[in-house]
């Protein structure tokens, strides 16, 4: 039984079968099916054994003394579910300040996130300087050190959470692992970009430990440091999705304006779908991975998670860019050679656009309704059966990449005082207190160590996966002249990953049991799929905030 559970979870991680062909294969690709939900209702560990509310808030309680429940309630109509342009407008009009916005989110996290009947365990650390930094943003605006006209579509002053595998100087970067509890680092490249544009790093979000490539049979959303992240649409009932669980849950529960997640295969798409938010997995290399704890330098990418498409576009606009430290990084220019602006949408409708719908998914009523909404925007829908391509040795790609990529992270971006150099070092550390540091075991790390391959074998694995993933989409795209593909949740995340193409998921409704689902659009260009997603979102407006967190 244990082996079967591990296999099931590995299939979730790698998305290694075509989910559009049958109910069984859909289950293999998605961590949202009922059997998975039931299996994970009883958790070995719920609350962190390494983190308490007292520890999280001791540096900020004094700064929040003047922010009362009355002030919090007065600001609710101005903040809850509002997008970045609206928030920036309220600030420019004097109805909000960056300080009051930041305090609102801090108060809300402290109120809901841990050690109470509604706790979600979504946030793993708070930036102790967040209130001070918010005041500095207000001061700069008053002194006209920033141009007010430039703020509407800007991350300036916006409180953003980072998945806790992304380095930032204010807080340790743990990947949820006890071995990295004191991993104090410099900023990752994308964090430097956020700060340069005035974004406020609010804190770190919990995650599936080591980005869900560690324990094999653990529930998504669990880490030893952060505890078990829970879904606000059904605590202990509905799966959070992984591995950017805390990022998606925090956005869904209005703990921040937006968050940054990371994906190897489905780790942004899955939790975003499961928590009724928007998640964008960019093309590999558009967003730097330097300073982010890796699984696979072949497939990893960071990306935005937000409540709506516009906010996701604004955050992407802030974090993308070429980085000489990232081997896959590239310059993204528009047709005139200038920088791409992801926030300026040009399509008034989807008239003239053609999307491919997987025939095997048409039994899903929410998917069928989403297709109808796209048609109402003028889109043409082609139903098709994909060619039977497989993803051989996907797990081995992750094993072999992480075996070399994690030591590189330790040597270039980690805290040298930790004295960690390899996967084996982490495993040895965990064995010192296995009950607390690895209650679900570390079977995937064991698999990494056991996997041996020559350089030629490794290159062949990568080559074949890239070919198969690209051909999976290519033939249908060419035959039907498709602009993009329509999927559900993370069902085709594995193929999009190895093809190295972008995907975005948008809320498309809720099952009869209240479980969120997302329409996932897979295409060639972030700019285009963002625009398609925006038009679908405006036509459907399916997101509903979790009721108990209003």
How does pLDDT run across 141-164, given as a tens digit for each residue?
999 999 999 999 999 999 999 999
Section 279-306 average pLDDT: 98
**pLDDT value at position 332?**
85
Tokens representing residue 475 in the block: 């033939």
Given 82, 103, 163, 283, which residue is catalytic? 163
Whether residue 94 is predicted with pLDDT greater than 70 in this model: the reply is: yes
Residue 439 · residue 225 · CB < 8 Å:
no
Q: How confident is the model at residue 8 (pLDDT cuts 50, 70, 90)?
A: very low
Given 267, 276, 437, 540, which residue is catalytic? 267
**pLDDT value at position 9?**
41
**pLDDT value at position 233?**
98
Stronger pLDDT, 331 or 205, i.e. the higher one: 205
Mean pLDDT of the chain: 92
HSE-CB of 233 using CA atoms within 13 angstroms:
29
Section 351-355 average pLDDT: 97
Give the DSSP H/E element, type plus range, for residue 263: strand 258-263
- State the Cα–Cα distance between residues 274 and 97, nearest whole angstrom: 32
Of 496, 491, 485, the residue nearest 281 (C-alpha) = 496
- State the Cα–Cα distance between residues 105 and 307, nearest whole angstrom: 15
Cα–Cα distances in angstroms (integers) from residue 178 to residues 313, 319, 419, 429, in the given order: 34, 28, 14, 9
Tokens representing residue 498 in the block: 């190895």
Q: Which of 42-51, 351-360, 484-493, 507-516 has the lowest mean pLDDT?
A: 42-51
**pLDDT value at position 339?**
86
Whether residue 338 is predicted with pLDDT greater than 80 in this model: the reply is: no
**pLDDT value at position 335?**
63
Section 515-541 average pLDDT: 98
pLDDT digits 0-9 by tens, 9-52:
444 343 333 333 333 233 333 332 233 344 445 799 999 999 99
SS3 26: helix
Residue 162 · residue 205 · CB < 8 Å:
yes
Cα–Cα distances in angstroms (integers) from residue 511 to residues 1, 32, 229, 285, 507, in the given order: 29, 11, 21, 35, 12
Given 243, 270, 313, 332, which residue is catalytic? 243
Is 163 an active-site residue?
A: yes
pLDDT above 90 coverage of the chain, percent:
89
Whether residue 535 is predicted with pLDDT greater than 80 in this model: the reply is: yes
Give 105-173 as a DSSP string.
HHHHHHHHSSSSTT----EEEE-TTHHHHHHHHHHHHHTTSS-GGG-TT--TT-EEEEETTB-BTTB--
**pLDDT value at position 337?**
64
Residue with tokens 């920088």: 339
Whether residue 550 is predicted with pLDDT greater than 90 in this model: the reply is: no
Q: Which of 44-53, 335-344, 493-502 has the lowest mean pLDDT?
A: 335-344
Q: What is the pTM of this model?
A: 0.94
Residue 265 · residue 13 · CB < 8 Å:
yes
Section 382-410 average pLDDT: 98
Is 243 an active-site residue?
A: yes
| Torsion sign across C-alpha atoms 494, 495, 499, 505 | negative
Whether residue 167 is predicted with pLDDT greater than 80 in this model: the reply is: yes
Chain centre to alpha carbon of residue 236: 20
Whether residue 481 is predicted with pLDDT greater than 90 in this model: the reply is: yes
**pLDDT value at position 336?**
63
Residue 430 · residue 442 · CB < 8 Å:
yes
Whether residue 3 is predicted with pLDDT greater than 90 in this model: the reply is: no
């Amino acid at each position: 039984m244990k082996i079967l559970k591990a296999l099931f979870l590995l299939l979730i991680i790698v998305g290694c079968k075509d989910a559009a062909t049958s109910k069984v294969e859909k289950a293999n690709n998605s961590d949202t099916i009922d059997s998975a939900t039931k299996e994970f209702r009883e958790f070995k560990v719920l609350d962190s054994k390494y983190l308490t509310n007292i520890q999280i808030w001791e540096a900020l309680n004094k700064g929040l003394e003047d922010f009362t429940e009355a002030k919090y309630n007065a600001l609710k109509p101005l903040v809850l579910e509002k997008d970045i342009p609206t928030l920036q407008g309220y600030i420019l009009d004097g109805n909000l300040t960056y300080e009051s916005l930041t305090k609102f989110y801090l108060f809300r996290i402290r109120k809901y996130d841990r050690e109470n009947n509604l706790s979600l365990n979504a946030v793993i650390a708070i930036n102790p300087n967040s209130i001070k930094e918010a005041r500095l943003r207000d001061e700069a605006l008053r002194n006209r050190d920033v141009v007010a006209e430039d703020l509407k579509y800007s991350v300036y002053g916006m409180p953003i959470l980072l998945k806790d595998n992304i380095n930032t100087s204010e807080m340790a970067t743990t990947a949820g692992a006890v071995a990295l509890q004191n991993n104090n680092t410099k900023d990752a490249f994308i964090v430097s970009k956020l700060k340069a544009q005035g974004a406020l790093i609010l804190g770190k979000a919990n995650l599936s430990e080591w980005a869900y490539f560690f324990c094999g049979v653990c529930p998504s959303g669990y880490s030893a440091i952060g505890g078990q992240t829970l879904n606000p649409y059904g605590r202990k009932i509905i799966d959070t999705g992984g591995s950017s669980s805390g990022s998606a849950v925090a956005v869904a529960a209005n703990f921040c304006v937006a968050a940054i997640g990371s994906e190897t295969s489905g780790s942004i798409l899955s939790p975003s779908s499961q928590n009724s938010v928007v998640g964008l997995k960019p093309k590999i290399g558009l967003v730097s991975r330097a300073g982010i704890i890796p699984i696979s330098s072949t497939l990893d990418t960071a990306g935005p998670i937000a409540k709506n498409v516009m906010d996701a576009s604004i955050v992407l606009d802030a974090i993308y860019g070429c980085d000489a430290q990232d081997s896959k990084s590239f310059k993204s220019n528009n047709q005139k050679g200038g920088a791409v602006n992801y926030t300026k949408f040009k399509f008034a409708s989807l008239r003239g656009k053609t999307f491919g719908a997987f025939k095997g998914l048409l039994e899903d009523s929410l998917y069928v309704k989403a297709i109808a909404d796209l048609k109402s925007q003028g889109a043409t829908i082609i139903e098709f059966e994909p060619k039977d391509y497989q993803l051989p040795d996907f797990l081995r790609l992750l094993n072999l990449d992480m075996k070399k990529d994690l030591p590189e992270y330790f040597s270039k971006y980690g805290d040298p005082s930790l004295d960690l150099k390899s996967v084996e070092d982490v495993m040895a550390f965990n064995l010192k207190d296995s009950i607390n540091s690895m209650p679900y075991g570390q079977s995937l790390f064991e698999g990494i160590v056991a996997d041996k391959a020559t350089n030629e074998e490794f290159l062949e694995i990568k080559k074949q996966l890239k070919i198969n993933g690209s051909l999976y989409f290519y033939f249908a795209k060419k035959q039907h002249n498709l602009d993009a593909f329509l999927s559900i949740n993370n069902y085709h995340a594995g193929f999009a990953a190895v093809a190295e193409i972008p995907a975005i998921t948008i809320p498309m409704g809720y099952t009869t049991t209240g479980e969120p689902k997302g329409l996932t659009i897979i295409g060639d260009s972030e700019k285009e799929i963002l625009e398609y997603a925006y038009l679908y979102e405006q036509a459907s407006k399916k997101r509903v905030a979790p009721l108990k967190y209003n």
